[in-house]
Structure 1
């Protein structure tokens, strides 16, 4: 009996080692909360975990040495939604990662993803602060996407086994929560040299905005909408009626596209190989945090001492 089980045990051990070695670690930049703490919304961490990754924090005001250490030990970067203006930390990290890209070396191709404010940060890193327009009436609204002709050949929307183009064009599932944004005209003038416009939307007043893009060559992606919310934010007020304060779609279509985009981002991160080294002194978010708190804009906050 032992002779029969031994090869199976050995195979299990090899499989376990392989799974651990290639579990990607994606870094999320925290945002200021008060004078003593920064925070990350739990929904972004859960979103990455749904795709098969662990999460690590990028301090909002990290120094150059810390950023360089993180870049060496991360498989991807996620800039989340929120309110802060573009910090020097994000600009430096964007430039550092962009400078190391080598299409012949997958290990250098660390993906960068921006959601809502993060989408705007990436646009600003590439095109300058003036790329953003204000005054969009697109807070707390859920929309289908209007795809461009280029979307059919995109990486973001066609790498999934699910037909995301049809799903997202025909269902009101992408949740928007923004007043700032990039118009298609401004995108064409300042970003179309290196980025592909994949989808647009119009706000309540008929003002058109870019809702997703990707870099033509590099793994850089942005969505003005919030894919993490459909799986991990419920928008329920703490009252007997359980009223929602945000129009977040939790239908099968909503949770499906959310999962597929999380899986896509983590799949991009896996291509960079094993990078996280505990000898660096870095910790995952679950190890580093200084507790959790409940809220309304985000239902759960993860806090970090500064």
Structure 2
């Protein structure tokens, strides 16, 4: 689920074009260096969909640092550190790349399922190319198997006309919104292990709120599993790890207990609360 675009015109320096060295990070501040070093314990970065407005505050320095880490290590030592954005996370990737929060348009895309329209670039892509099973591709193209919960989107004509976005990313699929206008629904970086989906692959298997359009067919569940397997296989290409078992245990989600919310009043049936 995404939230209202503030239209704020700029964010300093596109993260894609301004990678920092570790030395530069240390010169900026100790916190910047810690942010770089902490990512060496992780095997991927997943940016999901917090229900907050998109502003220059939410597109903050920490998000830029995390993306820079992935690009820097790929350029220097070809380390695969995948970055994945879903829904608002997809929008954040575009904004970070374009250095602007004002690039999206209002879009009628809340609570409906639709198909994907494959673009020519999909055929040789990592995400939707040769590795995509034929039955999964058929379901994505011909059945309403992608769950959508967004209010803003990137129009394909705007994406193609933007030299920064269209040079950095491949547009893999587009989808029709509720007004039958198309929006960019799947992207991947041409060079880096960066992937984004405006739709929600996880909803099909894990969100069971009643009175929604989330698809739960076998094909829909298979799509969720394919996307999960793809990202997991990307993470297996790096050897990042925690320095000790004790350190790893501190960050496991199992340290926290999810709370049941409701079946018909919230977007999610289970949520985690983290108190500062």
TM-score by structure 2 length?
Answer: 0.78
Contact 2:113–2:144 (8 Å) recurs in 1: yes
Count of residue pairs brought into register by the alignment: 233
- Structure 2 distance, partners of 1:202, 1:118, is 20
1:225 aligns with 2:210: no
* Pair 1:88–1:294, CA change in 2 (3 A): farther
Residue in structure 1 matched with residue 141 of structure 2 by the alignment: 169
Per-residue CA distance 1:76-127 (angstroms, 9 max, x = gap) = 010012323323321221123212213853xx22000000000001111111
Structure 1 Cα separation of the partners of residues 190 and 76 of structure 2:
12
CA distance in 2, matches of 1:113, 1:135: 23
* Equivalent position SS for 1:136: strand
Q: Does the CA contact (< 8 Å) of 1:293 and 1:301 recur in 2?
A: yes
Unaligned stretches of 5+ residues in structure 2: 1-30
Name the CA distance, whole Å, in 1 between partners of 2:251 and 2:230: 21
**For the Cα contact (< 8 Å) 2:82–2:235, is it kept in 1?**
yes
Matched, 1:149 2:120: yes
Aligned counterpart in structure 2 of residue 126 of structure 1, from 72, 97, 104: 97
Aligned CA RMSD, in angstroms, stands at 2.0
User: 188, 197, 217: which one pairs with 1:251?
Assistant: 217
Residue 92 of structure 1 corresponds to 65
CA shift at 1:270, angstroms? 0.3
2:136–2:219 CA contact under 8 A, matched in 1: no
In the other structure, the counterpart of 1:59 is: none
Q: Would the aligned equivalents of 1:200 and 1:212 in 2 still touch at CA under 8 Å?
A: yes
Structure-2 separation of matches of 1:301 and 1:161: 33
Matching residue within 100, 104, 117 for 2:88: 117
1:216 aligns with 2:190: yes
TM-score (norm 1): 0.71
Greater Cα radius of gyration, structure 1 or 2? 1
Distance 2:243 2:205 in 1: 30
Deviates more, 1:255-264 or 1:74-83: 74-83
Q: Deviations over 1:270-297 (max 9, x none)?
A: 01125233368353332443x3222321
Map of 2:271 onto structure 1:
301
Helix, strand or coil at the partner of 2:172: strand
What residue in structure 1 maps to residue 18 of structure 2? none
Mean alpha-carbon deviation: is it higher for 83-92 or for 198-207? Answer: 83-92
Within 1, Cα distance between the matches of 2:45 and 2:232?
A: 10
In the other structure, the counterpart of 1:284 is: 251
Match of 1:194 in 2: 168
SS at match of 2:238: coil
Partner of 1:82: 50
Offset of residue 162 of structure 1:
5.2
